[in-house]
Homo-oligomer: A and B are copies of this chain.
Amino acid sequence: MRKQEPLKLRQSKQRNRILELLRSTGSHPTADWLYDQLKKEFPRLSLGTVYRNLSTLIDQGLVKKIHFGSTFDRFEANIQPHYHLICESCGTILDFEMPIYDDLNQQAKQLTNFNIRHHKLEFFGMCESCNGKG
C-alpha cells in the first residue's frame, strides 16, 4: 500500500498480463500462482515484479487483495462489491452471486456510534465437490 502521490505509469507487458490473468480466472490466486503461470511467458520473471505490479494495480483500483486467514494473500480482479464462499475443506474461494445487503449497514448504524461505511461478508462451508466426497 503506497502512500505517495501517483506516479506516471508506463505500459509493462508483465503488469498487463498479470491483470489479464487475474481477470480470466475465478480462482483468486496467490502471487506465487501468478508467478508460476507467467514464468512460462517471461522466463526471467521475478516474484518481486509480481508483488510490485499487484501493488500498483491495487493502487489503481483494478485489483483487490483478499485476506481470509491463510498464511498468504490472494488477489482478484473482480472489483465490484461481492461476497465470497469459502470451502473449509479444500480452501476454494468462490465469488458469490448474492445481492449486497446494504441494509445491514443501516441496521448496524442504529446499534453503535461507529461511523459504518461498508461491510465484508464471507460464507463458510463445503463446496459441491468436497460435499460429494464426504
Contact = CB atoms under 8 A, between A and B. Distances in A.
Interface of A: 65, 67-70, 85, 87-88, 94, 96-98, 101, 104-105, 107-108, 111-128, 131
Contacts of A108: 96, 98, 123
A121 B101 CA distance: 12
A124 B67 CA distance: 14
Q: Please state the number of chain copies in the assembly.
A: 2
B124 A122 contact: no
Given A105-B123, A113-B128, A121-B121, 12 more contacts: A85-B112, A85-B116, A97-B111, A98-B111, A113-B131, A114-B123, A114-B125, A114-B126, A117-B126, A118-B123, A119-B121, A120-B120
A87 B119 CA distance: 12
A100 B85 CA distance: 18
